[in-house]
Chain A
Amino acid sequence: MNDIASSSFVRRDLLAERPAPVKTTGFVGLMRTRLFNSPTNILLTVLGALLLWFTIVPSVRFLMVDAVWSGKDRAACLTENVGFAVGACWPYIQAKLPQLIYGFYPEAERWRVNLTFVLAVVLLVPLLVPRLPAKGLNASLFFVAFPVVAFFLLHGGGIKGFGLSWTAGLLELFDDSIIGAGQALLDLSKTSAVGPLLWVVGNFVVLIGTAIHWLILPLTWLRDQIQAAGQSVWADFAVTAVIVSLIAFGLGGGLRTGWRALASSIVAFVAIAAVIKLMGLDSGGLPVVATNLWGGLLVTLVVSVTGIVTSLPIGIALALGRRSTIPLIRIFSIAFIEFWRGVPLITVLFFATYMLPLFLPGNFTVDGLVRALIGIALFTGAYQAENVRGGLAAIQRGQGEAAAALGLSWWKTTSLIVLPQALRHVIPNLVNSFISLFKDTSLVSIVALFDLLGSLRASFSDPKWSTPSTAFTGFAFAGIIYFIFCFGMSRYSLFVEHRLNAHRRN
């Protein structure tokens, strides 16, 4: 012990303070570690600064400093009248704003568009905030009820019948077509080499058609009675409500557990009745605004929202079909998905515009906007199918096996166990698809629909506003709108992704 004590050294005075370590945080630290720490880095920093200087400064000058803010026509934005090199010509945007947002939608009816926008925001915002409750109700309102209401708000017009008439009409059309096909086969059998075979098949098809005809007779009879009685909408509505509620009651479990289904069905029909009454759909509804008058941001939003709403069910169905073990359905789904994913959207739009009308019966015309919507729905549906398939593949087998062990059917397993988890997994991918869909809506301007970009392009040709800076101003304005929507969606997808992976972070 003594040895240690004698050899130990005890310092009596304090060491001189060491200099503080180099600051590596804050702005100075950033400069030191990430900007000016080596000759190459200094060079790169200068390069970056120059790049920014030559892009940001002219942009700001163009958009703000040199811009003209008020005026009545092109004279206000000409250099020789103003006295300096003119930047953005904002009065041009002011003058064209209604056209860029509503297209040629009649001025007196524009409140309908605004109301639709407000409704969409009111329904969409709670859907996007994860913390808010009642997602199921909210989603069904947005994805099912809102499109219908929006259609009658934007397009106007009323309804002549309700569920019963529509179902009966559709079934009748289907039946007529089957009988027609059978007749065609019978006609063919008189001249064909395999006549007897065709005759048998034709007779069989006609027989099926006739059977269906007798099967749907109660429906068509009921419809004819209602049509004859006047006040057809409400009578039809009442009958449909009773039938659908009874079916819901029966499927929900009858006297034992069906009361809940019955109650929700009745509530839904009361809500539908309220909407019909409120919008006066039974008495002609709002004045019709034909879709060729729609334009600008309205068309962009209508196309993208319809695309989003319709592509998701198509995508889910195709994804399930592609994973199915039933050969024909799997092959069909694969072929369908690969076909639409392999062709450019613009050819799909050409297809929808020029080819689709040829495939429909001659007396059946489809609105130009609806044609584009069909094309976009099929196209986006194929892409969504691949996204959903990714989510389905991420669900472990054990989930399905556990459901099977509980005795759930395939439909129940899929809709209650697998799909909810799979869809939650792929929300970021779905949102990314929606971003590209939103961007791709600009393509409808090629098939003579005036979306935001199309209206912008049309407004360039107005001689009243043709100045050297018109085109740049217009593109700046439209670019800002597109950017806000797309950037917002991409941030939202990042946010959801972050939330989903919260447990995986370390």
Chain B
Amino acid sequence: MSTEARKPPPQIALKIRRILGGKAGWNGVAVQLAFAAILGWIGYEIVSNARANLENQHIAAGFGFLRNNAGFDVNQTLISYTGSDTFLRVFVVGLLNTLVVSVVGIVFATLIGFIVALCRLSPNWLLSRVGEIYVEIIRNLPVLFQILFWYLAVLAALPNPRQSISLLGIAFISNRGLVIPSPIGGSGLAPFLVVLAFGIVAALALRFHARRALFQRGQVIRIWPYVLGLLVGLPLATMLVFGLPFTFELPQLKGFNFAGGSRIIPEFVALTLALSTYTAAFIAEIVRAGILSVHKGQMEAGASLGLSRGATLRLVVVPQAMRVIVPPLTNQYLNLTKNSSLAVAIGYPDLVSVFAGTSLSQTGQAIEIIAMTMGIYLLISLLTSAIMSVYGWRVSRSLGA
């Protein structure tokens, strides 16, 4: 005769209490009600005050102003824009400018950051000290200070376009910005791009195939000669057949300024320089910490398996270091994007500068404009953190944790 285990009582009241009030039970519910009442009261106060204030200032609330003409010019635009375009277009122009300075800054920051990290990790005493000095000085100065330093001191001290500094005769730096040759599409552009795209796709497929062969059959396939041929040889061959894909128009000094070439405004140069060198100092520390976090035994284990030093680094150390490096690295990328809003201090036409600055002072629609600006940045950072949590989940799954 077996006695069946009694079912636990359903305890529905207890569960409801737990869901509604947490561990604190009915006290928690009471606290929540009081809290909700306070929040509601604050919200009511804000709304009623904002209404009264807007009425006093004769400002119509709502997003209708976005369709009005902006009536001011922006000195760097990626899409066509004139003063008679709408505020919505100003918003897009500013957003694109923010994104372009962020992307360029991120590329340079990563490059400089990895170089400085390698310097700091170098067995060479002098070089590691140089890296350390760089990191300490850059990290302990405000980023706005550095932006203003580059803009007001360094770039302003450069000579005027007539005496500009020439970089190998193709690019010129002056206090009016950086002038670089601009590419002009030639006859061979279309086939060149097609072949290049094909080469990239084929190289990726080859790599996929090689990895599958390695993981499933243990077969090592050497693919780099083919990849090189696909990525470099094939485009070169097309160039020989169809002619040059594009020619460069060199800037020429005419009168007081340059004609031809594309001009990069000094604000952009200063902002990119400051943001990338500043963020690079933080990236360098992250990379260094990541590589140091891999235990020394991993390197030794790789060596005892007969792997070369390069192969050990590539296959054993770097993948483990990346796990530590990537999350804070994305954080730094995000910081750089957010710091690009300091453009407003030097007048680079980014989102904050043209939208939350100029448009705000022209229309007076403070609530809508600042909400939109904050919303965009919030969206970017929430997207990034969502991607990061997926990444973290994948990494922890692949490690079997």
Q: Which residues of B contact A506 (CB under 8 A)?
A: none
A109 to B153, CA, bound (A): 34
For the residues of B in contact with A, the DSSP-based class is: helix
A338 to B382, CA, bound (A): 8
**CB proximity to B under 8 Å, residues A310-362:** 324-330, 332, 338-339, 341-347, 350-351, 354-355, 357-362
Binds A, one of B138-146, B168-176, B186-194, B289-297: B138-146
**Is A181 a contact of B44 with CB atoms below 8 Å?**
yes
Are A344 and B56 also in contact (CB < 8 A) when A35-B125, A354-B360 are?
no
A44 to B90, CA, bound (A): 49
A153 to B143, CA, bound (A): 32
A235 to B157, CA, bound (A): 64
Are A354 and B366 also in contact (CB < 8 A) when A457-B148, A479-B145 are?
yes
Select the residue from A44, A181, A472 with max chain B CB neighbours within 10 A.
A44
**CB proximity to A under 8 Å, residues B352-379:** 352, 356, 360, 366-367, 370, 373-374, 377-378
B207 on interface, CB distance cutoff 8 Å: no
**Is A471 a contact of B152 with CB atoms below 8 Å?**
yes
Contact with A along B122-157 (1 / 0, CB 8 A): 111111011000001101111111001100110011
B311 on interface, CB distance cutoff 8 Å: no
**Is A355 a contact of B341 with CB atoms below 8 Å?**
no
Q: Which residues of A contact B50 (CB under 8 A)?
A: 358-359
Binds B, one of A90-98, A161-169, A269-277, A483-491: A483-491
Q: Which residues of B contact A184 (CB under 8 A)?
A: 48
**Is B341 a contact of A347 with CB atoms below 8 Å?**
yes
B22 on interface, CB distance cutoff 8 Å: yes
A446 on interface, CB distance cutoff 8 Å: yes
**Is A326 a contact of B124 with CB atoms below 8 Å?**
no
B68 on interface, CB distance cutoff 8 Å: no
Contact with B along A438-456 (1 / 0, CB 8 A): 0111110110000001000
A482 on interface, CB distance cutoff 8 Å: yes
Contact with B along A168-181 (1 / 0, CB 8 A): 00000000011011
Q: Which residue of A lies closest to B136 (CB)?
A: A487
B259 on interface, CB distance cutoff 8 Å: no
**Is A483 a contact of B125 with CB atoms below 8 Å?**
no
Are A355 and B41 also in contact (CB < 8 A) when A45-B126, A341-B381, A342-B377 are?
no
For the residues of A in contact with B, the DSSP-based class is: helix
Give the size of the chain A interface in residues (CB under 8 angstroms).
66
B300 on interface, CB distance cutoff 8 Å: no
Q: Which residues of B contact A332 (CB under 8 A)?
A: 35, 39
Q: Which residue of A lies closest to B342 (CB)?
A: A346
Binds B, one of A15-23, A47-55, A120-128, A389-397: A47-55
Are A34 and B125 also in contact (CB < 8 A) when A178-B41, A326-B24 are?
yes
**Is B23 a contact of A347 with CB atoms below 8 Å?**
no
**Is A343 a contact of B153 with CB atoms below 8 Å?**
no
Q: Which residues of B contact A51 (CB under 8 A)?
A: 130
Are A339 and B378 also in contact (CB < 8 A) when A45-B124, A328-B35, A472-B153 are?
yes
B53 on interface, CB distance cutoff 8 Å: yes
Q: Which residues of B contact A344 (CB under 8 A)?
A: 338-339, 341, 352, 377
**Is A483 a contact of B32 with CB atoms below 8 Å?**
no
Q: Which residues of A contact B136 (CB under 8 A)?
A: 487
A79 on interface, CB distance cutoff 8 Å: no
A30 on interface, CB distance cutoff 8 Å: yes
**Is A41 a contact of B148 with CB atoms below 8 Å?**
no
A362 to B339, CA, bound (A): 33
Select the residue from A45, A344, A435 with max chain B CB neighbours within 10 A.
A344
B315 on interface, CB distance cutoff 8 Å: no
**Is B31 a contact of A483 with CB atoms below 8 Å?**
no
The smallest C-beta distance from B67 to any residue of chain A, in angstroms, reads 22
Q: Which residues of A contact B213 (CB under 8 A)?
A: none
Select the residue from B50, B136, B341, B377 with max chain A CB neighbours within 10 A.
B341
**Is B342 a contact of A358 with CB atoms below 8 Å?**
no
The 8 Å CB contact of B140, one of A327, A358, A475, A482, is A482
Q: Which residues of A contact B148 (CB under 8 A)?
A: 453, 457, 475
B345 on interface, CB distance cutoff 8 Å: yes
Are A329 and B378 also in contact (CB < 8 A) when A177-B41, A177-B45 are?
no
**Is B370 a contact of A354 with CB atoms below 8 Å?**
yes
A34 to B122, CA, bound (A): 9
B181 on interface, CB distance cutoff 8 Å: no
Q: Which residues of B contact A341 (CB under 8 A)?
A: 381
Q: Which residue of A lies closest to B57 (CB)?
A: A358
**Is B44 a contact of A326 with CB atoms below 8 Å?**
no
A460 on interface, CB distance cutoff 8 Å: yes
Given contacts A332-B39, A487-B140, 11 further A-B contacts (CB under 8 A): A326-B22, A330-B22, A342-B377, A343-B381, A354-B360, A439-B141, A453-B148, A471-B152, A475-B153, A478-B145, A482-B140
25 pairs of residues in contact across A and B, judged by CB atoms under 8 Å: A34-B123, A34-B126, A35-B126, A51-B130, A178-B41, A325-B24, A326-B22, A326-B28, A326-B32, A329-B31, A344-B339, A344-B377, A346-B341, A346-B344, A347-B377, A350-B360, A351-B370, A359-B49, A362-B56, A439-B140, A441-B142, A453-B148, A482-B142, A490-B139, A490-B140
